[in-house]
Amino acid sequence: MIARIRTNGLAMSGRKALLAATAGLLLATAAQAETLRFAFQGTLNALDPYTLNETFSLGMFGNVYEGLTKRDKNLQIIPGLAESWEMVDPLTWRFNLRKGVKFSNGNDFTASDVVFSAERVRDASSDLKTRIPADSVWTAIDDHTVEVKLTSPNPILHYEWDTWYMMDKEWAEAEGATKPISAKDTNPGPAAFKTNGTGPFVIESHEPGVKTVFKPNAGWWGTPEHNLTEVVFTPIAADGTRVAALLAGDVDLIDPVPVQDIPRVNADPNTEAMTGPELRVIHLGFNQMDDELATSDVKGKNPFRDPNVRKALYQAIDIEAIKERVMRGLSTPVPLLIANELFSGAKDFQRWPYDPEAAKKLLADAGYPDGFTVGMDCPNDRYVNDEAICQATVSMLARIGVKVNLNAQPKAQYFAKVLAPGGYDTDFFLLGWTPGSFDSWNVLVNLAGCRDTTGKGGPFNLGGYCNKDLDALSAKIVVESDTAKREAMIKEAYTIMTQETSHIPLHQQSLAWGKRKNVEIVQRPDNQVLFYWAKVN
Amino acid sequence: MLAFAIRRLVQAIGVMLVVALISFVMFRFVGDPVNQLVGVDTSPEDRAALREALGLNDPVLLQFGRFILRAAQLDFGISYQFKQPVAALIASRLPATLELSLVSAVLALAVGVPMGVFTGLYPRSWVSRAFLAVSLVGVSLPTFLIGILLIFLVSVNLGWLPSFGRGTVVDIGFGWTTGLLTASGLQSLILPAITLGLFQMTLIMRLVRGEMLEVLRTDYIKFARARGLSRRAINFGHALRNTLVPVITITGLQLGSIIAFAIITETVFQWPGMGLMFLQAVQSVDIPIMAAYLLLIAFLFVTINFIVDLLYVAVDPRIRLGGARG
């Protein structure tokens, strides 16, 4: 009897143990490793967040580091490491920092780290110098308050801070990383391959050009909206291989998917393509600076100085045909040089209508009844279908008598020719632009500001378009704190540009990511891949 | 033999210097590295300062002299895009390329030589004709097409093998990482090795076949048959031995080609070797890597040719005797 009871007792505890073990196993499988395998066409190189002002790397670092502000899923500015901020007066800003935040190595995040980061980002070897005004003065009022003093008002001071990341002063000093890595470093040091951020992930291992592994940061201050235990990033340069890897199930997310492969990715039952407008606007520009165009048969004058000639070329371009045939429906024609999402007043502007007959008449009235020849420069591996867009433009302009000689090159050679180091050597060109601050002033200055031959004043105004009234407006816009007044001035500036056809805006290109159906991720128009909103089901 | 070796060595150094000069001069015209190094918003002043700091404004001869001096000490500078010493980068990527190339070469030999012998011995059998027809695929299809076809057939549709990458690699010391010791590594090696080796396999097969057909018609083979030697002794002991000399030469040269031009296969399969790194360097105008890679390939070809010449002398007694007399 006793033996039986004891056996029963053992059996009871045995059964309990079995139950516990099963429950444990169930829990374990419920909390199994969720790995996101992501492939991009480019590589991640040095891990210093101030070395390269490039969307992709900054986006990757945005998983590991954080800035004082962040942008949410709709690109609106939200508090980041700064919980709140205020403009005490137009020249003084005060930021109240989040408390209890730690870097991944355990150090506390305090105001001294912010002041250090502000100095480091303005160092000569940093590529993100323009994130804060060069002459701003940063002081730590106490451990969690920072004051910034400016020499002139700047209402959009913090607009680009979602990609300006806070670094740990003590860690940087210990690692010898107080200066950002730059190309001329003969000994970049270990800090090029180590990170220490406050963000939701840490980089566990990094082989540049091969593989980078991210793991969740256990000590992160926020609440994870993801369910990932690991993210593995591998670059896959060849388009076909990247798509094949997605279809074969070797990766879960790829960026970009070439437009011609989107139907294939959608047709597969396990994968789908995510498309949406990107913030980048593709446009054509004219050389308006030189007295004579080097590549044209028109001698003694520059046809592009006449706004009617520019308007004629604009009206010869059938943007809907480009959208349907060249971009396969994946583009958004725009009237301005900025994305519709970034300027609310864009809806009040229209493109000049497509009208080849009117274009020919304009040309004849301007003194070119038989048209003219001109050379065109175009990159062939920088933007989506860039060369194809240029070729379509060439055939459309031929119809109104303008014969274009196209020179399409890889971006390394293209930019060497058309930017300042090449002497802005172009008469007619294609260019894409995203304003880093997501604000119009960046566009008005960089693309349309009067410049000299070295580029000062309008570094990406390749054609040298210049309107003094526009420049005066831009100078007022940058210091205007009243939002309504500012928007009105921006609208006025764009009106000046569109009325005299300073450029030919074409379209916003589209983003195309490919993912397996069990992956959920947020795609923002700025094309940053942020894992902290991703789920693998 | 010694005089021969020394002559070859001097020629080798000459070739290396010429390659260095050509590659150096060529890179003046490939684009602006500064543009690849900085972001879009970087001001013209900062770009000019970077040019100056990188020494890109110095006279060409001075830059070349600096380059040669450092190259002799195996210091190829710092990569513009990776910010790491180029020598270390190449060393870390070399095992991947060498492993892939050697496996391809072994595959090409292991399949090519027997197939060549078979088609040489039985030229009229239908199996031989089938081999020859299929082998046309190897020479006529471009490498990237073969690679993509294999990926789509085997990885995407059948799901048997991975579509890219090297799998899990094991570090076996001296900085050498190998994929041969893990299952995923071996699986990842199969498709790229076939893609890379297919052309060589076909070449070797046809070469061996051609040589076999020729040798089998010679008098000394007839006499060997007349003497009553076994078929195996004739075919392998005598015929094959004599076909090996041109095969060795071609294989040696092709091995250099395989290593140097694994670029396409590495790009298609995202194989983390030197070829892929070179292609990325060309796209980003990463001059230090491009120059170092070309020098390395020149060195490789020169060394392989040297070894092939020595082997040639060793295998063919006529050359050795002829040289001694002369």
Give the range among A368-372, A477-481, B3-7 with minimum mean pLDDT. B3-7
Q: What residues of B are in contact with residue A129 (Cβ under 8 Å)?
A: 46
pLDDT band at B38 (very low <50, low <70, confident <90, very high): low
What percent of chain B shows pLDDT beyond 90?
A: 16
Using an 8 Å Cβ cutoff, are B119 and B205 in contact? Answer: yes
Residues 315-334 of A with CB under 8 A from B: none
Q: Is the pLDDT of residue A3 over 50?
A: no
Average pLDDT for residues A314-329, to the nearest whole number?
94
Average pLDDT for residues B34-61, to the nearest whole number?
73
Average pLDDT for residues A527-533, to the nearest whole number?
91
* Count of CB atoms situated within 10 Å of the CB of B62: 10
Q: What residues of B are in contact with residue A410 (Cβ under 8 Å)?
A: 31, 283
**A419 Cβ under 8 Å from any chain B Cβ:** yes
Location of structure tokens 């070897």:
A125
* A244 to B156: CB separation less than 8 angstroms, yes or no: yes
Measured distance CA(A320)–CA(B212) in Å, rounded:
65
Residues 142-171 of B with CB under 8 A from A: 148, 151-152, 155-156, 159, 162-165
Using one digit for the tens of pLDDT, what is the confidence trace for A406-464? 999 988 788 888 988 788 999 999 999 988 889 999 999 999 999 988 878 888 899 99
What percent of chain B shows pLDDT beyond 70?
A: 91
Using one digit for the tens of pLDDT, what is the confidence trace for A170-180? 999 998 888 88
Give the range among A365-369, B57-61, B71-75 with minimum mean pLDDT. B57-61
Give the range among A42-56, A63-77, A90-104, A306-320 with minimum mean pLDDT. A42-56
In angstroms, the Cα distances linking A126 to A115, A130, A165, A522, B100 are 16, 9, 13, 30, 39
Residues 57-96 of B with CB under 8 A from A: 78, 80-84, 92
How many degrees, rounded to 5, is the angle at CA A232 between CA A228 and CA A234? Answer: 150
How many degrees, rounded to 5, is the angle at CA A85 between CA A81 and CA A88? Answer: 150
| Paired tokens of A414 | 């293209």
Question: What per-residue confidence (pLDDT) applies to A18?
Answer: 53
- Which residues on adjacent β-strands are paired with residue A92? A89, A149
Q: What residues of A are in contact with residue B179 (Cβ under 8 Å)?
A: none
Using an 8 Å Cβ cutoff, are A65 and A165 in contact? Answer: yes
Nearest CB to A184: which of B54, B82, B285? B54
Give chain A's mean pLDDT: 89
Q: Is the pLDDT of residue B321 over 60?
A: no
Measured distance CA(A314)–CA(A499) in Å, rounded:
12
- Mutation target vs A (from B28, B37, B40; most A CBs, 10 A cutoff): B40
Q: What residues of B are in contact with residue A184 (Cβ under 8 Å)?
A: 50, 53-54
Measured distance CA(A171)–CA(B89) in Å, rounded:
26
How many degrees, rounded to 5, is the angle at CA A395 between CA A366 and CA A359? Answer: 25
For chains A and B, what is the number of CB pairs under 8 angstroms? 144
Q: What residues of B are in contact with residue A248 (Cβ under 8 Å)?
A: 151, 155-156, 159, 162-163
Q: What residues of B are in contact with residue A192 (Cβ under 8 Å)?
A: 83-84
Nearest CB to A241: which of B82, B268, B279? B268
* B267 to A238: CB separation less than 8 angstroms, yes or no: yes
**A413 Cβ under 8 Å from any chain B Cβ:** yes
Average pLDDT for residues A105-120, to the nearest whole number?
94
* Count of CB atoms situated within 10 Å of the CB of A382: 17
Count each helix (H run) and each strand (E run) in chain B, helices first.
Answer: 15, 2
Measured distance CA(A518)–CA(A506) in Å, rounded:
36
* B163 to A245: CB separation less than 8 angstroms, yes or no: yes
| Paired tokens of A348 | 């009040």
- CA of A382: which chain B residue's CA is closest? B283
- CA of B43: which chain A residue's CA is closest? A459
Question: What per-residue confidence (pLDDT) applies to A190?
Answer: 67
Question: What per-residue confidence (pLDDT) applies to B30?
Answer: 64
Higher pLDDT, B183 or A490: A490
Question: What per-residue confidence (pLDDT) applies to B292?
Answer: 87
| Paired tokens of B199 | 């052309």
Nearest CB to B268: which of A46, A186, A238? A238
A237 Cβ neighbours under 8 A, 6+ residues apart: A41, A42, B267, B270, B276, B279, B280
- CA of A431: which chain B residue's CA is closest? B40
- CA of B82: which chain A residue's CA is closest? A45
Using an 8 Å Cβ cutoff, are A445 and A474 in contact? Answer: yes
Using one digit for the tens of pLDDT, what is the confidence trace for A8-47? 444 455 555 555 455 444 444 445 678 999 999 888 878 8
**A127 Cβ under 8 Å from any chain B Cβ:** yes
Measured distance CA(B253)–CA(B27) in Å, rounded:
27
* A237 to B270: CB separation less than 8 angstroms, yes or no: yes
* A237 to B83: CB separation less than 8 angstroms, yes or no: no
Distance from the Cα of B240 to chain A's closest Cα (Å) equals 41
Measured distance CA(A433)–CA(A243) in Å, rounded:
27
Q: Is the pLDDT of residue B37 over 80?
A: no
The secondary structure of A403-443 as a DSSP string is EEEEEEE-HHHHHHHHSGGGT---SEEEEEE--TTSSHHHH
Question: What per-residue confidence (pLDDT) applies to B168?
Answer: 83
Q: State which H helix or E strand residue B70 sits in.
A: helix B60-72
Reduced to 3 states (helix: H, G, I; strand: E, B; else coil), residue B276 is helix
Measured distance CA(A85)–CA(A97) in Å, rounded:
9
Q: Is the pLDDT of residue A118 over 60?
A: yes
Considering only CA atoms, which of A411, A340, A413 is closest in space to residue A379?
A411
Question: What per-residue confidence (pLDDT) applies to A393?
Answer: 97
Distance from the Cα of A413 to chain B's closest Cα (Å) equals 5
| Radius of gyration over every alpha carbon of chain A, rounded to an integer in angstroms | 27
pLDDT band at A229 (very low <50, low <70, confident <90, very high): very high
Residues 197-226 of B with CB under 8 A from A: none
Q: Return contacts of B242-249, CB within 8 angstroms, 24+ apart.
A: B242/B211, B242/B215, B243/B208, B243/B211, B243/B212, B243/B215, B244/B315, B245/B312, B245/B315, B245/B316, B246/B207, B246/B211, B247/B113, B247/B204, B247/B207, B247/B208, B247/B211, B248/B308, B248/B311, B248/B312, B248/B315, B249/B308, B249/B312
Question: What per-residue confidence (pLDDT) applies to B81?
Answer: 75
Using one digit for the tens of pLDDT, what is the confidence trace for B101-146? 999 999 998 998 888 888 988 888 898 898 888 888 878 888 889 9
Question: What per-residue confidence (pLDDT) applies to A481?
Answer: 85
Question: What per-residue confidence (pLDDT) applies to B218?
Answer: 85
Question: What per-residue confidence (pLDDT) applies to B290?
Answer: 87
Reduced to 3 states (helix: H, G, I; strand: E, B; else coil), residue B47 is helix
Give me the helix-helix angle, A239-248 and B143-150, nearest 10°. 10
Distance from the Cα of B267 to chain A's closest Cα (Å) equals 6
Burial class (CB in 10 A: 0-12, 13-18, 19+), B13: exposed
Q: Is the pLDDT of residue A102 over 60?
A: yes
**A468 Cβ under 8 Å from any chain B Cβ:** no
Phi-psi region of A385 (alpha: psi -120 to 50; beta: other; left: phi over 0): left
- Mutation target vs B (from A210, A243, A270; most B CBs, 10 A cutoff): A210
**B272 Cβ under 8 Å from any chain A Cβ:** yes
Question: What per-residue confidence (pLDDT) applies to A6?
Answer: 44
Q: State which H helix or E strand residue B178 sits in.
A: strand B177-178
Question: What per-residue confidence (pLDDT) applies to A10?
Answer: 44
Average pLDDT for residues B169-197, to the nearest whole number?
88
**B53 Cβ under 8 Å from any chain A Cβ:** yes
Distance from the Cα of B181 to chain A's closest Cα (Å) equals 19
HEC states along A100-112?
CCECCCCCECCHH
- Mutation target vs B (from A207, A241, A271, A452; most B CBs, 10 A cutoff): A241
Average pLDDT for residues A335-344, to the nearest whole number?
93
Q: Is beta strand A519-520 parallel, antiparallel or unpaired with respect to A503-516?
A: unpaired
Report CA A379 to chain centroid distance, whole Å. Answer: 19
Q: pTM for the full model? A: 0.80
- CA of A45: which chain B residue's CA is closest? B82
Question: What per-residue confidence (pLDDT) applies to A187?
Answer: 58
At position B318, the amino acid (one-letter code) is: R
**B49 Cβ under 8 Å from any chain A Cβ:** yes
Q: Is beta strand A253-255 parallel, antiparallel or unpaired with respect to A503-516?
A: antiparallel
- CA of B53: which chain A residue's CA is closest? A184
Question: What per-residue confidence (pLDDT) applies to A5?
Answer: 41
Q: What residues of A are in contact with residue B82 (Cβ under 8 Å)?
A: 45-46, 208-209
Q: What residues of A are in contact with residue B165 (Cβ under 8 Å)?
A: 234, 250
Using an 8 Å Cβ cutoff, are A245 and B163 in contact? Answer: yes
Q: State which H helix or E strand residue A85 sits in.
A: strand A82-89
